Amino acid sequence: MKDAAPQPIYLADYTPPNWLIDDVHLTFRLAPNATRVVSRIAFRPNPDTASRDFFLHGEALTLIDARIDQKPVTPDLVEGGLRCSVPDAPFIWECEVEIDPANNTALEGLYMSSGMYCTQCEAEGFRKITYYPDRPDVMATFTVRIEGDMPVMLSNGNPVSQGPGFAEWHDPWPKPAYLFALVAGDLVNHPGQFTTRSGREVELNIWVRPGDEGKCAFAMEALKKSMTWDEDVYGCEYDLDIFNIVAVDDFNMGAMENKGLNIFNSSCVLASPETSTDANFERIEAIIAHEYFHNWTGNRITCRDWFQLCLKEGLTVYRDAEFTSDMRSAPVKRISDVIALRARQFREDNGPLAHPVRPESFVEINNFYTATIYEKGAEVIGMLKRLVGDDAYAEAVRLYFNRHDGQACTIEDWLSAFQDVTGRDLTQFKRWYSQAGTPRLKVTEDFKDGTYTLHFEQHTPATPGQPQKAPQVIPIAVGLLGPNGHEVMETTVLEMTEARQSFSFEGLTARPVPSILRDFSAPVILERATDNAERAFLLAHDTDPFNKWEAGRALARDGLIAQIREGAAPDAAYLDAIHAMARDDSLDPAFRALALGLPSQDDLAQTLADLGTTPDPQTIWEALETLRQARAQHCQDLATRLHAQFQVTDPYRPDAEQSGARALANAALGMISRLDGGAQAQRQYDAADNMTQQLAALSCLLQSGTGAEAVQRFYDQWRHDRLVIDKWFTLQIVHADPQDAAATAARLTAHPDFDMKNPNRFRATLGALAANPAGFHHASGAGYELLAEWLIRLDPVNPQTTARMCSAFETWKRYDAARQDMIAGQLDRILDTPGLSRDTTEMVSRIRG
Ligand code: 0A1
Ligand code: ZN
């Protein structure tokens, strides 16, 4: 029999907590299978509520003892926690529970990873540690005593005392339980030091397993840069005596912003030139910054409830993107972010998992750490800033910090700060938080008597539960170029508020070429009839780097669509334009490398579906291969020149300049190896002294079908390094021929180094299969079957990672009937699995529709 369908929770049902907490004391007596947690919590009635019902969340806990004001009590153990009758006045709750960290494979609550104890409490993991009102609007100061035989024992806040077998920590900043953390293990630290602008000395540490201490220096520098940047740009200063970061091998996500004790997936903190690519370095810098920035946007000011998740995540992603733009190249960051936004968020917004930036209901909150909450949430902040201007943005954020420090807030609180500073009515703007779906922005234009007019029409397609959409406020950054390529109107932000709206520009001597949605000023899909000539013109002349890149991208996409739909040959206009762009030494090499990228298979599948053509994954793959081959031929001499010209001879640095040069040289290598059978790639592989060069060469060898020996050598060289071996798993699968991809993934799941309990390794293998669309969607259905099989196996072990990976199926409705049938069959097979987790049940049911 099926379990009862899990019940959703609604934003509209929010009620404040009946009981508040000032102070929490926790004692942990660590033991792998029987850790005891003793809590002592001072509760007081919330004067703003009438009910005195006392409910504490709790899951997978064995209750040993409970007392109220020192008298033993016998609480009712109920679904998801306990109830107890309590005095109608402040009281002290004392409780002892036992938990089993060694068998906690879900990696939520207190668990063990490579012999160390660690925690993950966001969103609702603290209830697996002790009975507690596990909701973000209950904030308290914590004192934590850890007893055990581990050499290093850490918790939030400042150290109070430590001795043989114990350590005590106190966090003076009130926080919700989701920010609690504890780490204990045989760890070594990479130390650092920071002096805040008001002169506070802060001890910094990155804690890792012995042997990894040589891979911490980059993250430590990133941390110091982040601390300085947040003081300089947002006026935010660090507020404890110590800041600890710990690297953990088994972690469901990237990293976690626990107060004063950030816990990181080791892949997001450990770095060395030999083992990490330039992209890894950039990602590590961004994630260090992201978690650090949460100290203000998330920790000092947190969320009232989980529906407000974007309040901390959208804002913090926006802040980390600003940081990366300042540290590196702003245009390159923007282009990369838009590529990722379209690949993940637009895809989500266009399918069965579409939800607003602030959802109105959920079954399992862990399923809402999505591209929409994070990335679209950040885009909304960017639009707000563009609309109010830089100065008003800074003033409003300051007001928000001053007004709400120490509070658990809502999107309304955030927007009120902007309304109060600017006097603007943000009622319509707020629709960005409540309406799901990506708006389509149609543009037509006319030119008469020196006046150029742009006519816009916005329309947002229906999404699950939202058939009708109202017009949104869309900031449209526009520039105009004259026929000679000079800019005749610099970037101007048009504010569209109606379903249809026109904007005119007077005094022009000739019909201009418009550059619309510069810097991708709003997360919308622009629809405009244009031609190759105009796109090539913009690629050559646009002063806005984003739109310059966009013109090349659109040219490539349209050519590919013609190849796929009409059997056309690769587009000569694209080949000429891209050649001219790539050889232009006035352009940043990193920009040129990005512009040499092609639309992904998934992008093309969606574009075809939008045009009413059922996408065939194999045909899409072949069209891309044909274009790459034609481009390699067209750019043969140039590729050889670029590969030589952009070899870096200085000692390795993962900065924007060197990584840009390597990116362009490696893009050139990709073209060269299509013509030389991999000879140049083999030379680069043999000579490589850093992972960027080594991995790029290995990819080329795999692509040209000559990688077998290098694959084996790579494994022999790196078998001791988990993070590098993750790359080894991934690369073989993403570069497998479509018809071999599922078999390659299946073979690798049988490799002795495959470990489904490690989320990184699971993603490196099964996630890689989904990242090879022609392979995953192969007509045999083998890809679907393999993924479903492994999701079913993983679910009882780690529901959170299982549920996240179900999104590989989210685009299923765009494919042909045979594929849809096969996918539906696999989705049903997952849903029919007895005891399926709430996480996976919710995801698969939503996808199945
Ligand atoms: N808040 C973290 C991400 C995070 C979210 C959920 C987790 O477990 C369910 C773990 C980490 C961040 O934004 O970095
Ligand atoms: Zn975050």
Pocket of ligand 1 (CB under 6 A): 120, 122-123, 252-257, 290-291, 313, 366, 369, 800
| Helices and strands: H and E segment counts in the chain | 30, 31
Instruction: Tell me which residue of 104, 504, 525 sits closest to 345, measured CA to CA.
Output: 525
- Return the pLDDT at 190: 98
Closest-approaching ligand to the CA atom of 108: 1
Alpha-carbon torsion (682, 684, 688, 692), positive or negative: negative
CA of 255 from ligand 1 middle (Å) equals: 6
CA of 587 from ligand 1 middle (Å) equals: 37
* Residues in Cβ contact with 532 at an 8 Å cutoff, skipping those fewer than 6 apart: 555, 558, 571, 573, 574
Atom of ligand 1 nearest to the CA of 255: 14
Length of the chain: 849
Q: Residue of the nearest CA to atom 2 in ligand 1?
A: 256
| C-alpha span between 407 and 409 (Å, rounded) | 6
Identity at 534, one-letter amino acid code: E
| C-alpha span between 144 and 184 (Å, rounded) | 13
The structure's pTM equals 0.99
Q: Helix axis angle, 545-566 relative to 572-582, nearest 10°?
A: 150
Q: What is the ipTM of this complex?
A: 0.99
Q: Which residue has the tokens 């936004």?
A: 341
Instruction: Tell me which residue of 844, 773, 414, 790 sits closest to 601, measured CA to CA.
Output: 773
How many C-beta neighbours within 10 Å does residue 455 have? Answer: 14
75: which DSSP letter? P
* Residues in Cβ contact with 708 at an 8 Å cutoff, skipping those fewer than 6 apart: none
Mean pLDDT (the chain, rounded): 98
Q: Residue of the nearest CA to atom 6 in ligand 1?
A: 122
Q: Tell me the CA distances in angstroms from 16 to 8, 115, 133, 407, one per residue in order.
A: 18, 40, 11, 13
The sheet carrying 76-78 orders its strands as 55-57, 81-83, 76-78
- Return the pLDDT at 724: 99
The SS3 call for residue 170 is: strand
Q: Tell me the CA distances in angstroms from 474 to 203, 383, 491, 526, 543, one per residue in order.
A: 45, 8, 15, 12, 22
Q: Mark residue 108 as left, alpha or beta (left: phi above 0; alpha: psi -120 to 50; beta: remaining).
A: beta
Q: State both tokens at 512.
A: 């201009």
| C-alpha span between 384 and 418 (Å, rounded) | 9
- Give 345-370 pLDDT, tens digit per residue: 999 999 999 999 999 999 999 999 99
- Return the pLDDT at 2: 46
The SS3 call for residue 500 is: strand
CA of 289 from ligand 2 middle (Å) equals: 10
- Give 538-597 pLDDT, tens digit per residue: 999 999 999 999 999 999 999 999 999 999 999 999 999 999 999 999 999 999 999 999
Q: Contact, 147 vs 114, CB < 8 A? A: no
- Tell me which of 59, 282, 285, 291 is the catalytic residue: 291
Q: Residue of the nearest CA to atom 11 in ligand 1?
A: 256
236: which DSSP letter? -
Mean pLDDT of 95-102: 98
CA of 122 from ligand 1 middle (Å) equals: 6
- Return the pLDDT at 23: 96
Q: Contact, 331 vs 545, CB < 8 A? A: yes
Mean pLDDT of 599-625: 98
- Give 134-157 pLDDT, tens digit per residue: 999 999 999 999 999 999 999 999
- Give 159-213 pLDDT, tens digit per residue: 999 999 999 999 999 999 999 999 999 999 999 999 999 999 999 999 999 999 9
- Give 408-441 pLDDT, tens digit per residue: 999 999 999 999 999 999 999 999 999 999 999 9
Whether 291 is catalytic is yes
